[in-house]
Amino acid sequence: MDQIMSGKERAINMNKKMHLGWFTEYSPVGWDYSSAATGDWRKPDMFQEMAQICEKGMFDFALYADQLGINSSFNGSIDNYVKYGLNGTMHDSTMLAAMVAAATKHLGVGTTVSTTLTPPYLLARQLASLDHLTSGRVIWNVVTSGNSSSFLNFGIDMPDHDERYEQADEFLELCFKLWSSWEADSLIMDKETGVFADPNKVKPINFEGKYYKSQGPLNVVPLPQGRPTLIQAGQSPRGRDFAAKWADAVIVDAHYLEDMKAYYDDIKKRVVKFGRKPEDLKVFFIIKPVIGQTEELVNASLEALNNPPNSTIHATLSYLSANMDYDLSKFDLDEPVPHIDEKEIKGGQTTLSRFYTSGRRPTLREIAIKEAAGNKGSIIGTPEQVASQMQHIMESVGGDGFVIRVNAHERQYMQEFVETVIPVLQERDLVRKEYTGKTLRENLMEF
């Protein structure tokens, strides 16, 4: 998997199709790329055009990351993040999801909202409304918020890692009750009788827990999906349990095949532990293949990715520091990172550990280069080779699909992927050729 496959790729029998998603954020990231598409990232056009390309490729969804503050994790200052337009300079992903939905017909649209920093009734109402506006295409990326800057903006103390998940469990329990406070057949809208809805089928929920209280019912009529589709990125043991209990899909940031396999097997066991079927939770691996029409073009791309400028390395370390809410600037670039006590990491606890599996000891510089390249799984080659490697990962791991992690400025990249790799996958009957479901969940659970 670490090199371009040569010769004819081994034919692999696999009956299960792959799901595909696009993952990005409503931010300036990529604005300075030499290949950046023209346009204004503050406006919806770039995101709408990218989503339309994804829809042409029969993707399941477009998902937008979000956070609620400008980070100061790197060097204890917001300067790097503001100077380079990095983590934290983001606009509201829910607003963007609505704009993208208006420009597409089948593609799911995903917003990221924090359970720790959002009132549950407000969240339940917003997403229910958006599900109606999109005819059942909303996906909620459930996060607990792991960066202290967000909490400082709200003037509240940041709970520890596991407590945020305890709070999120109760948050989801409340939201599920609100979304079901109107029975599915409660809406009547009979003009002859003048009856809008059956009051016997709309009830208060009178919820009271450790963190939240809500009388209900929700003042939004039953959702097209029943409830929004839920996606999560739990990597820690506590996060995995949360995803296994609540989510319809999970996105996984793993660089190596053995780590993908270990995660997939572990999360599916956890799903069963919570009384669900393994197929109830779809596992997506984050990738960004290096694609070229010839091996010469592929090698040229690899050379550029493996030798990024210092500004890219420092920007990437700022990004990783923000994910962890831990300052990596204190470590030597050309030495492996010393052991860090998990209790010191307030954010993503597996942000660095995924680079150190199976006895690997990369330096901080090597970690930054690999993270900046974004090519999880080391998928490299011509369209045929990329399709074969994606197929190989799915067969070896047993996963359900991939999310392509590119920003809205990389329209040329996404066009190439959809126009060259997707036809190969379709010819092998590994991805859908048409949308069959009416809602996002129907498409996600189709195979």
pLDDT, tens digit (0-9, with 9 covering 90-100), for 245-281: 999 999 998 888 888 999 999 999 999 999 999 999 9
For residue 400, pLDDT over 80 is answered with yes
Q: How far is CA 140 from CA 1, 66, 127, 336, in A?
A: 32, 11, 8, 36
Quote the pLDDT of residue 10. 39
Q: What is the pLDDT of residues 134-158, one digit of tens each?
A: 999 999 999 999 888 899 999 999 9
The CA distance from 44 to 19, in Å, is 25
Quote the pLDDT of residue 431. 98
Contact 33, 410 (CB under 8 A): yes
Q: How far is CA 41 from CA 28, 49, 235, 407, in A?
A: 6, 12, 30, 10
Most confident of 193-202, 234-243, 368-377: 193-202
Cα four-point dihedral sign 360, 366, 368, 371: negative
Quote the pLDDT of residue 1. 40
Greatest C-alpha distance within the chain: 77
Cβ-based neighbours of 360, under 8 Å, separated by 6 or more:
none
Quote the pLDDT of residue 246. 98
Q: Which CATH architecture has domain 19-291+377-444?
A: Alpha-Beta Barrel (3.20)
Contact 19, 57 (CB under 8 A): no
Task: Kindly state the tokens that stand for 223.
Answer: 């959702």
Confidence of residue 13 (pLDDT cuts 50, 70, 90): very low
Strands 187-190 and 195-197: antiparallel
Q: What is the pLDDT of residues 417-434, one digit of tens each?
A: 999 999 999 999 999 999
Q: Residue 70's closest CA among 56, 84, 57?
A: 84
Confidence of residue 9 (pLDDT cuts 50, 70, 90): very low
Contact 204, 215 (CB under 8 A): yes
Helices 295-306 and 364-373: crossing angle in degrees, nearest 10, is: 140
Contact 232, 246 (CB under 8 A): yes
Which region among 82-86, 185-189, 191-195 has the lowest average model confidence (pLDDT)? 82-86
Mean pLDDT, rounded, for 66-88? 85
Confidence of residue 324 (pLDDT cuts 50, 70, 90): confident
Cα atoms in the Cβ-side hemisphere of radius 13 Å centred on 437: 20
Quote the pLDDT of residue 358. 67
Quote the pLDDT of residue 376. 64
In 150-181, which positions are buried (b, 16+ CB within 10 angstroms) versus exposed (e)?
bbeeeeeebbebeebbbbbbbbbebbbbbbbb
Quote the pLDDT of residue 347. 61
Quote the pLDDT of residue 2. 41
Does residue 217 have a cis peptide bond before it, meaning omega lies within 30 degrees of 0?
yes
Quote the pLDDT of residue 372. 76
For the chain, the structural domain boundaries read 19-291+377-444
Task: Kindly state the tokens that stand for 2.
Answer: 């670490």
In 68-82, which positions are buried (b, 16+ CB within 10 angstroms) versus exposed (e)?
bbbbbbbbeebebbe
Task: Kindly state the tokens that stand for 209.
Answer: 């827990």
Quote the pLDDT of residue 254. 87
The CA distance from 212 to 214, in Å, is 7
Confidence of residue 34 (pLDDT cuts 50, 70, 90): confident
Q: Annotate the chain with three-state secondary structure.
A: CCCCCCCCCCCCCCCCCCEEEEEEECCCCCCCCCCCCCCCCCCCHHHHHHHHHHHHCCCCEEEEECCCCCCCCHHHCCHHHHHHCCCCCCCCHHHHHHHHHHCCCCCEEEEEEECCCCCHHHHHHHHHHHHHHCCCCEEEEEECCCCHHHHHHHCCCCCCHHHHHHHHHHHHHHHHHHHCCECCCCEEEECCCCEEECHHHECCCCEECCCCEECCCCCCCCCCCCCCEEEECCCCHHHHHHHHHHCCEEEECCCCHHHHHHHHHHHHHHHHHCCCCHHHCEEEEEECCEECCCHHHHHHHHHHHHCCCHHHHHHHHHHHHHHHCCCHHHCCCCCECCCCCHHHCCCCCCCCHHHCHHHCCCEHHHHHHHHHHCCCCCCEECHHHHHHHHHHHHHHHCCCEEEEECCCCCHHHHHHHHHHHHHHHHHCCCCCCCCCCCCHHHHHCCC
